Structure 1
Amino acid sequence: MKNYTNFIGIDVAKLTLDYCMITPNPQPEQGQILNTQKSVDKFLKTLKKAGCQMNETLFVFENTGIYSSLLALVLSENKLDYAQVPALEIKRSLGITRGKSDKVDAKEIANYARRNTDKIALSALPELSLQQLKIVFAEREKTIAAIKSFERTMENEMYLNKKVFTSVKAINRQTVKQLKKQLAALDDRIKILIREDEILYKQQQLLKSIPGIGEITSVYLLMVTKGFTAFTNGRKFACYSGVVPFEHTSGTSVKGKTRVSHLADKKMKSLLHMAALTAIKYDPELKAYYRRKKEEGKHTMLVLNNIKCKMVYRIFVVIARETSFVNLHKFAA
């Protein structure tokens, strides 16, 4: 991380961006602009006219999903240094705080940027194909949730008068049918997006060579790792996925059990769990490992968590090696 002289903390809301700029001058500069491309462009031009050295300026803001996407896009197009930081990380760095406002939050983010320059990792927009993949996958998740919601209506049939339920039965079936048709279209779109990107397509084929890793799990892995550029090794990704156990002890009085952290990507953790259940059915090595540990008296969830970790390491090995997974267990004597 290079040395910066200006730190701009931005509190992102749906309609506005509150900012605080800390410079070598003793008094920080604060203000508010609209969360639109026109306003952000005008703000950057104002900074340049005021003599702000943009190559010595670091922009830091919370990763608020869609609301911070426009800001990240404009900063990226202007080739400026910025970092999207998890809100929890900033919150826990503040210590004890009382009260809350967007103006105060912007100032705290700017102070966080100044104090943690050596720790902050610069952000970058993922490739266009990954951005498209992410939004299509989000639509797929919403469609699946809608299908489950409408299918629950059919559970009422056995409890309601036949004439009463008939008034909604046909409409409900038609709705579910259309949603399933939409789901199939989204799945086809996801396959096309991956097939059009040579690197993503190759990585997906490598991932699917691992027993237990299917279509959806491979797609989600490509998304969250940004084509395996966001994580340097399997250990870090395992932590991100919430499958690495951590010690919980202090002195002689606190001796808690070693547990995984609840701070994790729950979707990724769920997919890895399903992958592990599939793997112990079809992978001879993991199946033997599972049976051996169960015979030793190990808890089922502990053994499954170990298998999740093994699968994460397999994932990163095949990607780094750029060769499909080979199960050496069948060649063992």
Structure 2
Amino acid sequence: MSSTGAPQTSRAPEGCRFDLASRYYMLCDLNATWGIVLEALAGAGAVTTVVFMVALLVLVCKVQDSNRRKMLPTQFLFLFGVLGLFGLTFAFIIRLDGATGPTRFFLFGVLFALCFSCLLVHAFNLTQLVRGRSSLSMLVTLGLALGFSLVQDVIAIEYVVLAMNRTNVDAFSELSAPRRNEDFVLLLIYVLLLMALTFLMSSFTFCGPFTGWKIHGSHVYIAMLLSIAIWVAWISLLLVPSPGPKWDDTILSTALVANGWAFLFAYVGPEFRLLTNQREPTDYPLEDAFCKPQHMKPNQGMENRAYFEDDMSQGRGEIGDTLHAPYATHFQLQDRTPQKDFSIPRAQARPSPYKGYEGRKEGS
């Protein structure tokens, strides 16, 4: 971040109006085309982000999956953070002074913390869904994203207030370039922690039986992988003395634009493509999965014979006289055979022919 110099009294560079303030020269100087290119990319990114935000509001009623619908407020908040990144690019193209200094130090970490917090909550929610567990509610996801990002807000406010000594807004431009760059990176330690946690959490989304949610996890994973590469590049270039302080603004503004477009291409675009897809039954556990007994010895053969009545009736001669009640329990109904008599026969005396005889003739 280049330091503030004395007000320029020379004529405006080619491409700028003669009455334009010198702090805005990088926005129109044709001899320093990096400012114009980054300005165009940041403007296009801001317009694209606004289009995505409007499309998200329009497609709310067409989202059929309830778990995708729960993430819509958090994703809208993420788009708001991406829009802020593109807007903050202009604060780095404009020359560092008392107005842009506090804006740079405060909003850079706050906006990235907001984006990474939204991705962290989404990744955590996906780790639950990919394992067949219930997802977080809409208010919980939104509250967690805001809560994680508020930590960086507190850190940035404390640093800016202490650095300015309450009223000195030119404190940032008065610092030497190496000291200013070191403070800028140290202020982002919490954001680096959020990046590491989000990347680690997104890698956990690939472990689970429900593969449909792994696609969403890959979007977060790729977005974080690109973000880490961009951050390693701009921090390395900012802290090494070889490019020189005059390239500090170029490095930081390029990092903002590159990371903003990485979010749009790797995360926002693919998520919109899957937003209105129908609910896939294979992405969820069965409704009675939690009611089934666990750790039971598996049966060898058919689990329920009631649905195979026709096959069993054909082989009745081999199985026996087993009767099947359709849609009944696993207890089978059987015909009772008559009980056989296995008792030992006993000898019985024959009745006497003289039984009932009284010695009188008939008719007497």
Normalised by the length of structure 1, the TM-score is: 0.22
Structure number having the greater strand percentage: 1
Normalised by the length of structure 2, the TM-score is: 0.20
